[in-house]
Structure 1
Amino acid sequence: MEALYHQTNRLVQGTQQCFEKLEKADDINSDAIEREIQARINSITSNCERLEILLYKEPLNRRTNGKLRIDQLKYDRVHLQAALDTFRNRKYQRLQEEREREALLNLQFQPNNCKETSILMDHSQKHHSSLQNANRGVDDLLLSGAGILENLRDQRMTMKGAHRRLYDIANTLGLSNTTMRLIERRAYQDQFILFGGMVFTLIVIGLIVVYCT
């Protein structure tokens, strides 16, 4: 176990030195160094797994110290892998920016094509006109509905006045209680008809407003 631990520790140190070479290398040579670093990291991972198996064969008084050393190697491996991934991401972004810059420099501009640059103003104008007409129609419906409600309110007041006058006339003429109850029942039913018409009108106006907008 000790020999494998020292071998893995040397791998960690050698991988760290490879990163110094990687920072100084150009794009052509960096690929080979990246592959070498990845191979070293894979070896470190494999050795850590073997060390964890061998740890259980050690005496109990040495397992705690051995576990700490293996955890340190695993931490170093994670750190090395993260550093390699970060370098690859930076390299990819740099290459992508260079390709985009090269493509922009090589781009040849041509005179504008009237068919390609023309804007479909007619369609936009028609759409705008349709919206204006719809809004105008909704406003007209709202005004019409308000007029209908006002008429219904006036009719209700008229019916109340007529009922009151009929009641007074009936008292004056001395009509029977049965006749009075019939008149009151008819007036009560007329109120339901009135309120029902008002509610129906409001529902129709609300549906028109919802579907038109």
Structure 2
Amino acid sequence: MSLVTTISSSALKVGKHKIPKYLYHITPTKNVENIQKKGLQMTEDDLFGEGVFMFDLANLTKFWTKTNNKQKTNFAQTLIDYVTRRSGNFSISIFRIPTKNIPTDALSIRRQDKLFEIVNKYETTSDIYNAYARKEITEKVMDEITIGSPATLSNKFDRKKIPIEYILEENIPAKDIELFGTAKVDFNNLDLKSILKQLFADKKENIFLYKFL
């Protein structure tokens, strides 16, 4: 069995469904010390509400590299750009979270393609809700970006090659997370492969970078 197969198939079974064995969270490096003491705390998202926002590495390297509709960057580059610009920090770090300790009933997934389609079209959250009231946005799409879907349906989105993020509506204790790596970010050159190679230096996850990027 290849290393790629081993990593991809290492998932937590929930009935007939699976969620990845590990999820990952990117944060400005200046937050690392506090996270290692207090764990990952929920942050506010204007549309979804509070949560810890994470991704699956296989889904990111395969499907987050699609070009974002309005911007020239892809979904993964947009995530990194958002994390760094929001904090004014040119260094990011990544944590790995084993899903065996995560309550699956508190874990949701949200489509990145639908999210950015709406966010790029309307300037503010109020504009989005007003558009929904005018029926410019369907209830199905609104639910996809504000409520999400059960995490146990992740395989369905993978089969359709859809980029997704995972959202846990609970804090994650420090004992259940692992600092994995750090990378320097150049705002003028968001080289995704270079950034991920720094974040996953000397880790088995690096295999994804050569296979899919």
TM-score > 0.5 by shorter chain: no
Highest relative contact order (Cα 8 Å, sep 6+), 1 or 2? 2
Q: TM-score, normalised by structure 1?
A: 0.19
Q: TM-score, normalised by structure 2?
A: 0.19
Which structure has the highest strand share of the two? 2
Question: For the pair shown, which has the larger CA radius of gyration, 1 or 2?
Answer: 1
Which structure has the highest helix share of the two? 1
